[in-house]
Chains A and B, each alone.
Chain A
Amino acid sequence: MKATAVFFVFMLCFTILSRAADQMGIAVVKVERPQNMVIGHSVRATGRIVQNQELAVTTEPDQRVTAIHVSEGQRVSKGDLLFELDTTLLDEKILYQKQELEKQELNVADAKSQKDISKRQKENEQAQAAEQYSLSTQSAGVQLSRAEKQLSDAQKELKEFRKKSGNLQTDDSVEAALEQALVEKSNAYIAAQQELTSLEWKIENAVNAALQAAQNGATLSKTQIPRTQASEEFFVLEETEEDLCAEEKEKPENASFGSGSDADTSGDMSGEIVMGIKNVLFDKNGNVGKVTFGSTGAQNSVPEISIDSVEEVGSSAPSSGEGSGNSEHISDGISGDTAGDLFHDGSDMNTGTTGDGMSGQISGDVSDINTGTVPGGFDQVPDTESDGTSGSISGNVPGTSGLPSGSGGNGNSGDSSVIFPEDSFGDSSGQGVTQEELAQIEASVRNSYREALAAAQRKVEDARAEKEAAEAALMAYQQERMTAANADEAAAERQLIANVQAAQQAYEDAAIAANQAAVTSGRAVAAAGIPNASNSSDRLNEITYEQMELSLKKLEKLKKENGKVYADTDGLIMKIQIQTGEKTSDTTAVLMADLTKGYRFTAEITKEQEKYIGTGDLVTLSGGNGKLKLEELAVESVTVDEADADIYHVIVQIPENTFEIGMTAAMDFVKKSQAYPVTVPLSALHLDDKNQAYVLVPEEYDSIMGIETKARKVSVTVQEKNESYAALADGILGSDQKVITSSDKAVDDGSRIRIEG
């Protein structure tokens, strides 16, 4: 019995002990019911009061500071004396500056006179070139007219001789018919020749352009320089030239060749002299006249050159001029311009000088029908302007070779490349093009024109053959007629005919020489027209002078104020960068906060806080150890930091006379959310290893020990939270369900707990 009693006592003790031990292991928790509340996101940040605008007070450099009347942090009013400068040093500086200014003034004058001289030299050069041009063309014209005179004399002699022989009337009709045929053939030949020449021109232009395009950009830009320097008329000319070529090709009938020999100087050698005048005018502004003239002379023909300038587009007037009439024509045609075309004796070809931007272009083709060996074509563009002559002359005088087309082409290419730079192929720019590649390009361009060129050459050949046939027929007829006449007369007539032919030859030589003279002197005129490199030294000197004048004015102003520098506005002295006794530098002397522009509060907030505060939100600022408190201040801006994307700057404008610049202030703002029915303290919210949020709720259960409480895990969805509360999605957790908010031990799902209180 005793043992039993002892046993039960023993068991009773252990019962008590084990219960005590058990209670030690139970976590004591606090629970709370979820609340229906608004989540407030509080944003609190500390920042400083800064000025809205800083103001730098600067002064003249290298001045000695004699006194500084302000100190850092001091408030100054507008007009307050900031610091003083040494006036003696200032005086010295002003004197020095004045002397420098005087020197500069002299420099300016020198540069100006230098520029005048060089301008005058240039003008002189141009005048000389123009004079030279005029002289050489005149002398060539004189020789040409002399040769023409001789030719006409020879023809007259022949005519008179025939008149004397008396058989003129009988054969007139036959001979006239033959001559008429010859004239037509000649005209056809000239037309073909012109076509060929223009085609060759085009080919050369195309080749040149392609080659230039192939070369590098530097070359390209260089070729553009003459263009830009040349006057606008230059381009008009160029276009005109191209248009002309095209038009000639399309409408050869445009070229009207006057067949009339009735308008000759002598007027009596009808039938012997064939003249072709072609006049085409291209005009954009009514001032550009282009005259093409051609003259053919059979045997003893006297080529008549007539220039007709028309002011309206498309109008053409072939003119077979008499010597005296030519000058009138020209003066009429070049309407009121200072036309200086001089045609001596009606058969001289001369230049046209035009004033005030007028440009004329004359292209002439002179070919010898008799021999066919000296085809000649030249274009000449005399263009003199009143100021800054710009002109171009393109001449084409091939040598007396048996192949007119070939030599003509060569001559063209040489000239055209110099005078008419083309850059229409500027899109393809190959850098560092080798010689082989250039040759290849040239060949390909030439290939593309080969057929057209061959056709044109064939046409010329055909025309010449026909013309020669016509000549032969005329010759044969004359021969026949001469044989019918007596031998003496025949011999005399043959002699006369030979004379005419010789004169004809001489005339042609003179014509060629005239062309050459015109081209050569024309080039000199063009060269003289290139302006000198620009010289801006005078203007540069002037600028320097103005600058020096300005700095002198500043110094004088400072002197006027006795070297005292005053505050421009109400402000707070932020920093003084000058020292008494030291010299000033060219940087800021005194840095001021402009008090008239107001203050602002600036603070840094985190990215998390930035979500809840924005422009226009009303915040509370407190500072000055809690003495100052400003409510309902609107946030001016919230901007991200340039360096750190996690930092934002908040700026709040603050009213005047509240905070001082440099003060520290705290900003408070609470962003309120909507009302949430289930809101729990943040301490009740846990995250599991899958980052899923959950809360622990107490749950009573029946155990051997009686009714016990344990924690149960309930997964929840957090809708919004701040630093102390979290709003949970409604539904999962009822508002009656208490949640464990804190415990004295770690509590997890299933842990036994005891609810406190």
Chain B
Amino acid sequence: MKKITKIFIYIWLFLLAAVICFPVVFAVSGVFMQQWELEEYLAPVLGGTEGMARWAALPHAPTLQSLVELLMDSPQFFVMFWNSLKLSFCILAGQTIFGVPTAWALARFSFPGKRAILMLYIVLMLMPFQVLMMPEYLVLNQIGLLDTHAAVILPAVFSTFPVFIMYRFFGGIPEAILEAARIDGAGNFQIFWRIGIPLGAAGIVSSGILGFLESWNMIEQPMTFLKTRSLWPLSLFLPEIGLKEAGMGFAAAIMMLIPALLIFLSGQEYLEQGIAAAALKE
């Protein structure tokens, strides 16, 4: 019985996974399709013709044309790719520089108004971009940062979400370890640097991965704050793709997926650890 139940569960999970994986399969098979094939399938959606869009799992005449075209003939793609990368790493760096000490302070020090600050962080974290867009725009405009990458980077650097995550990790470090360090004659900075960061590394990496994914996929902020097209990140490339460049669109999607995937895979261990730690704590 158990075995049968197990099999059913596996089948169910497989089906769910297939559904979840479908967009990726869609994109991957699309990269190898020729332009005419893509147009035939997607015309009802993108071309405005009658009927329903169809899709084939395997291309009729597989080709690397779209990929070559994207990589060889589209310098624009690379401009945007490097823009995206620049934004993401700047944001991550900023978050690391400012978020880690903040989270440490909130987690390990007690001072008046600490609870109020935490409350404010949570409220701000819950607020969507649409709410913050207007004040941010006004402030950026006032300090003359509109239409620069700083306009995207700075608000993200001071995002509350990584602080909140790292706050949890730092809070989970046992007080006894810190006391032992203090007894050994370690100062506050040494405790933070020698004990806090190594013990909270999982949290830092987790927040970093999450932060990367968020900034990599960021679309509203550049759209709102960047006017110069040459500053646009890759997330704004795909909206410009029409039916005629559908193949290139698929190729671009795949290329965009790869860094996120690589980052995730390389930080997977920490991420799982960190999430588990967060879960265990409560």
Contacts and interface: CB of A to CB of B under 8 A. Distances in A.
Given A4-B259, A4-B263, A11-B81, A703 B72 contact: no
Given A702-B228, A703-B229, A704-B80, A17 B72 contact: yes
B85 to A, nearest CB: 8
Nearest to A4: B262
B192 to A, nearest CB: 26
Interface stretch (A18-26, A553-561, A589-597, A644-652): A18-26
Interface in A610-627: none
A7 interface: yes
Most buried by B among A15, A21, A22, A704: A704
A14 B72 contact: yes
A7 B262 contact: yes
A336 interface: no
A18 B77 contact: yes
Contacts of A746: none
Contacts of B142: none
B72 A18 contact: yes
A4 B266 contact: yes
A69 B151 CA distance: 106
Contacts of B237: 704
27 contacts: A3-B266, A4-B263, A7-B258, A7-B259, A7-B262, A8-B85, A11-B78, A15-B78, A15-B82, A18-B75, A18-B77, A18-B78, A19-B75, A21-B72, A21-B75, A22-B73, A22-B75, A702-B229, A702-B230, A703-B229, A704-B76, A704-B79, A704-B230, A704-B232, A705-B76, A706-B230, A707-B230
Contacts of B266: 1, 3-4
Contacts of B229: 702-704
Interface in B61-89: 71-82, 85
Contacts of A8: 85, 259
Interface string A356-386: 0000000000000000000000000000000
Interface in B251-279: 255, 258-259, 262-263, 265-266
A4 B265 CA distance: 10
A19 B263 contact: no
Interface residues of A, number: 19
Contacts of A703: 76, 229-230
A3 B262 contact: yes
Contacts of A15: 75, 78, 81-82
B71 A14 contact: yes
Contacts of B263: 4
Contacts of A707: 230
Contacts of A11: 78, 81, 255
A445 to B, nearest CB: 100
B213 to A, nearest CB: 14
Q: Which 5 A-B pairs have the closest CB atoms?
A: A15-B78, A704-B76, A4-B262, A706-B230, A14-B71
B207 to A, nearest CB: 18
A323 B39 CA distance: 145
A1 B263 CA distance: 8
A706 B263 CA distance: 29
Contacts of A705: 75-76, 79, 230
Contacts of A17: 71-72
Contacts of A7: 258-259, 262
Given A702-B228, A703-B230, A704-B229, A19 B78 contact: yes
Interface string B203-240: 00000000000000000000000001110100001000
A730 to B, nearest CB: 35
Nearest to A15: B78
A17 B232 CA distance: 21
Nearest to A22: B75
Interface string B135-153: 0000000000000000000
A704 B73 CA distance: 14
A707 B255 CA distance: 25
A681 to B, nearest CB: 33
A703 B240 CA distance: 13
Given A11-B81, A21-B72, 11 more contacts: A4-B263, A7-B258, A14-B72, A15-B81, A18-B73, A18-B74, A18-B75, A19-B75, A21-B75, A705-B76, A705-B79
